[in-house]
Chains A and B, each alone.
Chain A
Amino acid sequence: MKTRLMKTKWRARLRLWGKKRGGRMSGWWFIGSLGEALFFATVFLIGVFLSAILISWQLMSQSTQPLKIGYGFWLFLGVCLSFSVLGIVGFWYRVLKVVTSDEHREVLAQRGIIPEPLSGAQQPKRTSHAPSIPDVKRFTDSPGARLAYRLPSQIPENGALVALGIFAMAWNAMIAVFLVIAAQNYLRFEIPWQLLLLLIPGIYVAIRSAQLFFRSFIRTLGIGSTTVEIEALPLVPGGEYRLEIVQYGRLVIKKIAVRLECEEESTYHFGTDLRTERQTVFSTEIASHGRDRIDWGYPLRMECRFSVPEDAMHSFQSKHNAVQWKIVVNGEANRWPLYSRSFPVLVYPQPGMSRPAAAS
């Protein structure tokens, strides 16, 4: 029994190839930290050593220059210096992790690379009026035509469309080059069978990707853009606001609904993967419109009023977690798939909160 316990203990300490899940250190903390610090110290020393050898060879023995001053020399020097920088940054980061507390490290990080001497109380640097709330300037830099501000749009399909476009272009360009090579060989009376075998699935992927891209592009163009204007920003809990939604395009709308949503977002490590999870914690319909026809020059305009709940959490943004508020426009049109467009808004804490604090 004792032997098995010892084996398990040592297996946990010497786990080299096991996949680590989550951010928690499950091995021997001391050995892990020491190993990381030694690794980065070694990387730094290798970088310095190789840089020194390279520079001394170049300067001291002109006759036996190992590398000509040119692309090769500068590339090699760049690699050596990047080793040194990577090593020194990694080493000091590991050392600071061991010798300073989490709070002290956070204060040092806020103050910059070169720490000022610590004496007495420190109020860490603040970048905005409301800490950990995104800057309101990003939301108010676009004035509206009827109301004060036009909200920036966040359309997830646009990112996919750009990525698909880049892929389709790159793939088609590559296939075109291979086609030219195959044609040249054919004209020289050589049939490149291996290349032809590779080109058949390649051409299929090229056609499908281009087809998919143009279908998405037409869908984006056909539905038309959506704009949302709001009378005031930032919003505060309990406040009531006017909103105007304009849907452009040339289509028959079956239904269009506008919602106010609050979403929590958390990013975490799962082994070597970085994952983001989102959950909607509040959603309420603030306006809707039934069947209607939209044409070029005659967009659909909707005006409504909405209020933010009194006990709502304010917008929040930290390195790995966020609370985001947004206006979501969901639409359904004839001959088009369902679409959804979101427009982030900023909610500040209620000014002059005077409710009693709960006891800890």
Chain B
Amino acid sequence: MPGDTLEFEYRVANVDRGSIVAVECSVCWLTEGKGTEDLGVHFFQRLAGDSLAAIDWSIAQKISCPLPISPLSYEGKLLKISWCVRVRFFLNDGTELMAQQPFYVGTITREV
């Protein structure tokens, strides 16, 4: 719900912990449909260097952030607004691993 706190956790498996160069975690909304895609970042966290070295990857990383009152999730005729949590892992060989989990803000609002 808008204004509520979103709590989530992520972990990484089957990846050599030493090969992780940076981790980015974000809560964002994006538009899909006929128009050019727009992206809005509500929460962003980048871990690299010392802050990354201090992380114990054997336990899940917990994050919580308050959600804004808008934009609400929407499914219209020309555009769709969807929210998601995205986690990106940057490895030292240039590989980028990305996982995302969609969620709704508000009840899904269709065109009336």
Contacts and interface: CB of A to CB of B under 8 A. Distances in A.
Interface residues of A, number: 52
B16 interface: no
A197 B74 CA distance: 60
Contacts of A321: 31, 33, 35-36, 38, 78-79
Contacts of B71: 131-133, 314, 316
A102 interface: yes
Contact of B111 (A23, A101, A268, A282): A282
Contacts of B68: 126, 130-131
Interface string A118-141: 111111101001111100000000
Given A313-B112, A314-B72, A360-B104, A354 B1 contact: yes
Contacts of A23: 36
Contacts of B38: 318-321
A103 B106 contact: no
B109 A312 contact: yes
B45 A120 contact: yes
A323 interface: yes
Interface string B65-80: 1001111101011110
A132 B35 contact: no
Contacts of B101: 360
A268 B36 contact: yes
A360 B103 contact: yes
A358 interface: yes
A192 to B, nearest CB: 52
Contacts of A281: 76-77, 111-112
Nearest to A131: B68
Contacts of B72: 313-314, 349
If over half of B's interface residues share one DSSP class (helix, strand or loop), that class is named, otherwise mixed; here it is: strand
B41 A124 contact: yes
A357 B76 contact: no
**Interface range, B side:** 35 or more
Interface stretch (A178-186, A201-209, A258-266, A332-340): A258-266
Given A133-B70, A266-B34, A268-B36, A353 B106 contact: yes
Interface in A305-323: 309, 311-314, 316, 318-321, 323
A353 B1 contact: yes
Interface in B35-73: 35-46, 48, 51, 63, 65, 68-72
A99 to B, nearest CB: 10
Contacts of A348: 70
Contacts of B36: 23, 266-269, 319-321
Contacts of B29: 132
Contacts of A107: 41, 44
A357 B41 contact: no
A182 to B, nearest CB: 50
Contact of B69 (A130, A266, A320): A130
A103 B106 CA distance: 22
A188 interface: no
Interface string B82-99: 000010100000001000
B106 A264 contact: no
Interface of A: 23, 101-104, 106-107, 110, 118-124, 126, 129-133, 262, 264-269, 277, 279, 281-282, 309, 311-314, 316, 318-321, 323, 348-349, 353-358, 360
